[in-house]
């Protein structure tokens, strides 16, 4: 196994791709000067070009605050009296420093922002890969969510899922989907960025596997096609990607803290395909290298061409 020093060198080498490609696209421009007009809110009726917010070099909470402000504020997405679902990645029985799950600090802060905006309720769940009580607990997400006022729901209760048709799917024609996805007024997708041994990368699109009951159905059909197919049925209101210390190897579970490299970044977009394209570049890949991103682009479920995206960049240092 490589030493931590060797692995960090590898991470820096991968970061060179980001410096040449992604940072050229995402961080070439400076943040708006103080006193400039606030960016236009992003809504379903926004201009044709999707918006991607890329924030770096701040705390998780500060970067989330900046990303939401750049999209018009939390009130753009959450109205008084609405029910909200926040869907993190809570797949693995691992502590926060391993980077296997969304960081609890980010989840708790988003819950608080939603409730402060007047949400009637905020719910959290995931159909975990490891035993759900241990995973909810050891990830730190259950405690952070409850402390912030969220309702934490068991993602392993099949009675909470309902069969739906997915007429736009190529391989995924039907699935049991959690009722919170079907019934909530607002759906925040809050994944963590990781290497994945089966799909090269997990970010926004793949995190949605955790809202269906039979995860194995994706693998039995065509993992990448079914990941894209689900978007024909349901897209999140907003996807917020935790890329503070992404996992560069041994994903999706990870082995130790040596699998993560600190990048101190966060992405947010209503275009989940554009967000995943930026995520792929951060991990050192071309967006087209990640087959479900390419498929979703071809199905016109979003765009992986970052040249066609309005990127709002912020450096908090």
Highest mean pLDDT among 3-7, 202-206, 219-223 belongs to 202-206
Say if residues 90 and 103 touch (Cβ distance below 8 Å): no
Report how far residue 213's alpha carbon sits from residue 192's, in angstroms, rounded to the nearest whole number: 20
Which residues, in sequence order, are CB contacts of 287 under 8 Å at separation 6+?
276, 277, 280, 281, 293, 294, 297, 304, 306
The token duo for 18 is 């980001």
List pLDDT tens digits, range 171-208.
Answer: 999 999 999 999 999 999 999 999 999 999 999 999 99
User: Residue 240 domain-assigned?
Assistant: yes
First to last CA, the chain: 34
Q: Is the dihedral of CA 72, 73, 76, 77 positive or negative?
A: positive
- What percent of the chain shows pLDDT beyond 70? 85
Percent of the chain whose pLDDT exceeds 90 = 83
Q: Are 87 and 125 in contact (CB under 8 A)?
A: yes
Q: Which positions ≥6 away from 216 have C-beta within 8 Å?
A: none
Q: What angle do CA 53, 56, 57 make, to 5 degrees?
A: 160
| Domain membership flag for residue 13 | no
The verdict on residue 71 lying in a domain is yes
d(CA 129, CA 218): 14
Residue 17 lies in a domain: no
pLDDT for res 15: 41
Cα separation, 216 vs 234, in Å, equals: 19
Whats the size of the chain, residue-wise?
Answer: 317
Flag whether 171 is in a domain: yes
Taking phi over 0 as left and psi of -120 to 50 as alpha, with beta for the rest, 187 belongs to beta
Question: Residues 8-26: what's their mean pLDDT?
Answer: 41
> Does residue 179 sit within a domain?
yes
Mean pLDDT of 143-166: 98
Q: β-pairing, 310-315 with 83-88?
A: unpaired
b/e per residue 145-176 (b: at least 16 CB within 10 A): beebebebbebeeeebbeeeebeebebbeebb
CATH number, position 235: 3.40.50.11440
Domain that holds residue 224: 48-244+252-301
Please give the pLDDT value at position 40: 54
Specify the residue for token string 């405690």. Answer: 143
- Tell me the DSSP string of 175-238: EEEEHHHHH-SEEEEE-EEEEETTTEEESHHHHGGGGBS-THHHHHS-HHHHHHHHTTT---SE
Q: Which of 82, 28, 7 is nearest to 313 (CA)?
A: 28
The helix or strand, by DSSP H or E, that contains position 161, with its residue range, turns out to be strand 161-165
pTM of the model: 0.88
Per-residue pLDDT, 48: 75
CB 182 within 8 A of CB 162: yes
Taking phi over 0 as left and psi of -120 to 50 as alpha, with beta for the rest, 123 belongs to: beta
Residue 317 in domain: no
Report how many domains make up the chain. Answer: 1
Per-residue pLDDT at 25 exceeds 60: no
Give the separation between CA 197 and CA 202, rounded to whole angstroms: 9
* Window from 7-16, 244-253, 302-311 with minimum mean pLDDT: 7-16
Report if residue 3 sits inside a domain. no
């Amino acid at each position: 196994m490589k030493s931590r020093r060797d692995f960090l060198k590898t991470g820096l080498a991968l970061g060179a791709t980001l410096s040449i490609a992604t940072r050229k696209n995402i961080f070439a421009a400076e943040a708006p000067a103080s006193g400039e007009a606030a960016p236009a809110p992003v809504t379903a009726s926004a201009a044709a070009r999707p918006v991607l917010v890329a924030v770096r070099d701040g705390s998780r909470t500060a970067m989330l605050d900046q990303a939401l402000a750049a999209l018009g504020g939390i009130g753009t997405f959450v109205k008084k009296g609405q029910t909200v679902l926040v869907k993190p990645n809570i797949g693995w029985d691992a502590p926060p420093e391993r980077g296997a799950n969304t960081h609890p600090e980010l989840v708790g802060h988003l819950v608080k922002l939603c409730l402060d905006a007047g949400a009637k309720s905020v719910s959290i769940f995931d159909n975990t890969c490891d035993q759900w009580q241990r995973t909810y607990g050891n990830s730190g997400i259950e405690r952070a969510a409850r402390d912030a006022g969220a309702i934490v729901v068991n993602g392993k209760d099949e009675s909470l899922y309902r069969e739906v048709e997915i007429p736009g799917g190529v391989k995924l024609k039907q699935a049991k989907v959690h009722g919170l996805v079907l019934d909530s007024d607002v759906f925040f997708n809050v994944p963590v960025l990781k290497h994945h041994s089966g799909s090269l990368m997990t970010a926004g699109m793949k995190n949605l596997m955790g809202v269906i009951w039979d995860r194995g159905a994706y693998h039995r059909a065509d993992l990448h096609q079914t990941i894209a197919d689900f978007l024909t049925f349901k897209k999140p209101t907003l996807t917020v990607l935790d890329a503070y210390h992404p996992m560069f190897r041994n994903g999706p579970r990870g082995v130790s803290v040596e699998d993560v490299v600190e990048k101190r970044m966060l992405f947010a977009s209503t275009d989940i395909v554009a967000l995943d394209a930026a995520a792929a570049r951060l991990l050192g890949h071309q967006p087209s290298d990640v087959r479900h991103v390419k498929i979703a682009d071809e199905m016109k479920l979003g765009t992986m061409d970052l040249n066609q995206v309005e990127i709002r960049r912020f450096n908090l240092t």
